[in-house]
Amino acid sequence: MSAVRIAVLCSGGGTNLQAILDAARAGNLPHGQVVLVVADSREAYALERAKNFNVETAVFDKRDYPRAEREAAILAALKGHEIGLVVLAGFMTVLSPAFVKEYEGRIVNIHPALLPSFGGVGMYGLHVHEAVLARGVKVTGATVHYVTEECDGGPIIAQKAVEVREGDTPEVLQQRVMREAEWIIYPQAIENVCKKLKGERI
Ligand code: GAR
């Protein structure tokens, strides 16, 4: 049976994309295949990572495409590549309800905290870790979830907790959350979702 065709949408460094590509190369993503990487910035290092793995890339830079046109272009690229699963990996644009509806149940995201805490509009990247440290929680982590119209509010697929340590800076905490949670749970969750989309038990 053919693998689910995956598009990964990124805006920046792409370390989660790297973890997904590494998992695929190691044989840990047998039910999925990353066939397209989309970036909304031409400087996104994720594009280099994709090229290193011979994965096709498409760039719809925020400076060239106003929001609605950008979404339309991304949607057209996804359709053109017969994408079965959309993976958001550090994609810093909230998708419109119409886009989400188009791929209902077939868009996943990773968020760098234990949702429903520290989620919602404005909670992305380092801001999340700043908020976690400001609140003084002792445990944070990462969450993989389905994307719905509600920002960070979709059904949870996987979570992993990570300890907050004395003296953490947002940058140090971000790295720990990535290393101990994100890069581990995201490839696993994607494989499970692909399996499910193929109608297999997980
Ligand atoms: C990751 O920590 C991801 O969880 C976060 O941005 C970072 C992207 O890093 N995503 C969000 O905050 C989404 N709301 P990466 O480009 O190296 O994968």
Q: Please list every protein residue whose CB sits less than 6 Å from any atom of ligand 1.
A: 10, 12-16, 89-90, 110-112, 124-125, 128, 178, 182
Q: Which of 124, 150, 173 to mutate to test the pocket of ligand 1 (most atoms within 8 A of CB)?
A: 124
Q: In this structure, is residue 108 part of a structural domain?
A: yes
Listed in sequence order, the residues at least 6 apart from 136 whose beta carbon sits closer than 8 Å to its beta carbon are none
The angle subtended at Cα 77 by Cα 29 and Cα 185, nearest 5°, is 25
Which band of pLDDT confidence, cut at 50, 70 and 90, is reported for residue 47?
A: very high
Q: Confirm whether 111 is a catalytic residue.
A: yes
pLDDT (0 to 100) of residue 166: 98
pTM of the model: 0.97
- Residue entry with tokens 């749970």: 185
Tell me how many domains the chain contains: 1
Mutate to test the pocket of ligand 1, among 128, 171, 180 (most ligand atoms within 8 A of CB): 128
Q: What residues have CB less than 8 Å from 25, skipping those under 6 apart? A: 53
pLDDT surpasses 80 at 1: no
Closest ligand 1 atom number to CA of residue 15: 17
The pLDDT score that the predictor gives to residue 25 is 98
Handedness of CA 188, 189, 190, 194 (dihedral sign): positive
Residue 157 has pLDDT above 90, yes or no: yes
pLDDT at 107: 98
What are the E-state strand segments in 53-200? Answer: 56-59, 85-88, 107-111, 139-146, 156-163
**For range 60-65, the mean pLDDT:** 95
In a domain, 190, yes or no: yes
Q: Which atom of ligand 1 lies nearest, measured to the CA of 45? A: 16
In a domain, 31, yes or no: yes
Residue span of the structural domain in which 136 resides: 4-197
Residues of the chain above pLDDT 90, percent: 97
Question: Above 80 in pLDDT, residue 116?
Answer: yes
Residue 202 has pLDDT above 80, yes or no: no
pLDDT tens readout for residues 75-109: 999 999 999 999 999 999 889 999 999 999 999 99
Position 147, amino acid: V
201 versus 49: the higher-pLDDT residue is 49
The whole-number average pLDDT for the span 166-171 is 98
CATH number of domain containing 143: 3.40.50.170
* H or E, element range at 170: helix 170-177
Q: Can you give the pLDDT at residue 201?
A: 73
191 contacts 158 by C-beta, under 8 angstroms:
no
- Is 202 part of a structural domain of the chain? no
Minimum-distance ligand 1 atom for the alpha carbon of 152: 14
Q: How many residues does the chain have?
A: 202
Mean pLDDT, the chain, whole residue set? 97
